[in-house]
Structure 1
Amino acid sequence: MPINKLILGDNLEILKTIEADSIDLIYLDPPFFSNRNYEVIWGDAGETRSFQDRWSGGIDHYIGWLKERVEEMYRVLKPTGSIFLHCDWHANANIRVDILDKLFGSENFKNEIVWFYHRWTNTSKTFQKMHDTIFWYGKTKEAITFNKNGYPPTSSQLKKFEKGWDQNVVYLKSKRVKQYIVYNREKFERNCKNIDTDARLVYRETSELKIAPPDVLEFSVINSQADEFIGYPTQKPEDLLYKLIYTASNEGDTVLDPFMGGGTAIAVADKLNRRWLGIDQSAMAVKVTELRLQKQQDLFSAPYAVQLHKYDYDTLRYKDAFAFEAWIVRQFGGTPNAKQRGDMGLDGKAA
């Protein structure tokens, strides 16, 4: 991928245009099978169509809808690549058995990661549901990236460290290079006193650097007072995505999020000096992610592009009639009007 991109369009169609074996890491947080109208967040046409598509035939239809997209994700992953699929209790068993095990193979299963969060309610008549599931699979048995040493602290941990924990390791976070660097504390204080004024110094126990992270990650859901809050109801915390992306990729790797939503994975990938590709069917999701990226850009940030998905007139005109009918219904729910034809790149021509 030559440049970072935000792409507006149906991820199934866009994934088909991506070169095979070209992506290092995929994180997807697809709409859950919860039949909740709150999942229609932006309310624009693309998002509404997506919501209706996956619900038209129950759980089997939902799994089929998701599986054909994950098949394309499997194709574009490098042999050394891996995928994180974020889901909840409504369909996690179906997703693992009917999609991930069948496409990736149970032998390439790496972890079932639990994101645990507090969300108290006194109305439940069962154990309270306080976690999501994230399945991690490799494409093949070839070595995949697993960075456990120098694991970056989360923002909540940084606040604790900055209160003066007296340990033996210094983490330096430089805005200039956007990465964490581990130093021996004594050596750092002796040799690096005039380091970048942008840096934040925090301390952490050396023993924590020698063990792999646990498969239960505890982070609070985003509250309205958090700096990263954007008003997106299903927004995931940046700390969670830091853990996943940092662990399973390296600087310069390409990270794909085909269900971009509020743009958390893209924002974190950008901060960690990964190349990235974000796709969403909602124009508002693309715009919100773009604004989020603009807020964190600086002189050293990599450039990016925003691509509105266009369709070639001749390709559509000479499609098989039944194939075109299926495509147009999926895209627009009927014959497109003049504005929609313009959005399609048909220059006002009737398809």
Structure 2
Amino acid sequence: MNTSPVNRLILGDNLEILKGMNGETVDLIYLDPPFFSNRNYEVIWGDAGEKRSFEDRWEGGMEHYIGWLKERVEHMHRVLKPTGSIFLHCDWHADAYIRVGILDRIFGINNLVNEISWKRTTNPHNDSRQGAKHFGRITDIIYFYAKDSKVYTFNSQFERYRSDYIAAAYSKSDPDGRRFKASELSAAKPGGDTSYEWHGCLPPIGRYWAYSKENLNEFERNGLIWFSPHGRPYLKRYLDEMPGSSINNFWDNCVFRSRDERIGYPTQKPLALLERIIKCASDEGALVLDPFMGGGTTIAAADKLGRRWLGIDQSPQAVKVTEYRLNRQQNPQGQGDLFA
């Protein structure tokens, strides 16, 4: 199969599918491979009570696991466009081995963009128990690598300010109730004519006005200057014009939004998590690949956000679940039964 199909769910071994894909055709890859955790996951599917279980146990040990995954990631690197990126999701069992033994070797350490810590839940519980000799493990790692750190796609993401921050920083308001923050008008370094007196004020000692006199007059004409009780001017920055807080590499609010989002798939990830990844690392119309599709969250998020997509999984159940999710998302008024 010397092609790169789009908007398709493929049942099969992702290694063989990847080998048949054209190089440099994919914009973004997210993979959540089986973790090296020696656990069995079980789930009851539907009213029929069909019991499904799968193992992420690797009898050959860590060396076998890393070799198995590395071969697949090599082909993922090949199919990525130069502007593309990969997000690899793992936990503490093998994260160091995956980074050093796979990602740094294939993508290069200079192309590591972020090591993201994802908090799996907002609830305070964790996996530590009374008497356990470790702190509770409530985060996973997501490695974000660019194929080429000079040209990769990245769209800055923001989240709403916390209510306590708004109360403290945006404590002032205009007569119409519009909230604003009073920002300093001075700067540490001069730039042009910035040491003048304005409204009887000079910049603080050792500082300069950050704007020219013409700009300050323009701000005042537009109602953007606030004067303190002592007569010092400040620039108004309105809350409703701010994009929010820049997102950092600790993600603690990408969780399930409601019970209805859960489909019962044991390793299902929240839509909020995949939406953030897809928005930041791809543009509308881009091709998103998930080679370990599982419960189909990547595919559902990509379709919702106007991206093209390709999902691969060797489990017939995973393909069936994802197809159902897509149908339900694309036809919310339609009737459908995953287990019919």
TM-score where L is the length of structure 2: 0.66
Gaps of 5+ in 1: 158-164, 169-203, 300-351
Match of 2:321 in 1: 288
- 1:105 has 2:108 as partner: yes
Root-mean-square deviation (Å): 3.3
1:279 maps to which of 312, 315, 318: 312
Question: Secondary structure of the equivalent of 2:86?
Answer: strand
Distance change in 2, residues 1:252/1:166 (3 Å)? farther
Please state if 1:146 is matched with 2:151.
Answer: no
The 1:166–1:10 alpha-carbon spacing in structure 2 relative to 1, beyond 3 Å, is farther
1:260 aligns to 2:293 (yes or no): yes
TM superposition shift of 1:248? 0.4
Structure 1 segments of 4+ aligned residues over 2 angstroms from their partners: 39-42, 121-125, 165-168, 204-209, 219-223
Whether 1:12 aligns to 2:18 is no
Describe the shift of the 1:110–1:283 C-alpha distance in structure 2 as closer, same or farther (beyond 3 A): same
Q: 1:141 Cα shift?
A: 3.0
For the residues of structure 1 that align with 2:43 and 2:69, how far apart are their CA atoms?
17
1:250 and 1:274 in contact (8 A); partners too:
yes
Q: Percent identity?
A: 57
* The structure with more radius of gyration: 2
Write the distance in 2 (CA, Å) between the matches of 1:31 and 1:205: 43
SS at match of 1:246: helix
SS in 2 for 1:55: coil
1:208 aligned to 2:243?
yes
Aligned to 1:129: 137
- The equivalent of 1:73 in structure 2 is 76
Q: Decide whether the 8 Å contact of 2:40 with 2:53 is kept in 1.
A: no
Cα distance in structure 2, aligned partners of 1:57 and 1:271? 39
What is the CA–CA distance in structure 2 between the aligned matches of 1:262 and 1:70, rounded to whole Å?
A: 21
Please report how far the alpha carbon of residue 3 of structure 1 lies from its aligned counterpart in structure 2 after TM superposition: 3.4
Q: Determine the structure 1 residue equivalent to 2:125.
A: 120
1: distance between equivalents of 2:23 and 2:124? 41
- Per-residue deviation at 1:145? 1.3
Matching residue of 1:86: 89
State the Cα deviation string for residues 272-331 of structure 1 (Å, max 9, x = none): 0000000000000000000000011159xxxxxxxxxxxxxxxxxxxxxxxxxxxxxxxx
Structure with the higher helix share, 1 or 2: 1
Q: In the comparison of the two structures, how many residue pairs are matched? A: 251
- Judged with a 3 Å threshold, the aligned counterparts in structure 2 of structure 1 residues 167 and 230 are, in CA distance, closer, same or farther, namely farther
Give per-residue Cα distances to partners, 1:47-99, cap 9 Å, x unaligned: 85xx47x6020011111111001011001001111000000100000000000
State the distance in 2 between where 1:64 and 1:293 align: 33
The structure whose residues are more often strand, as a share, is 2
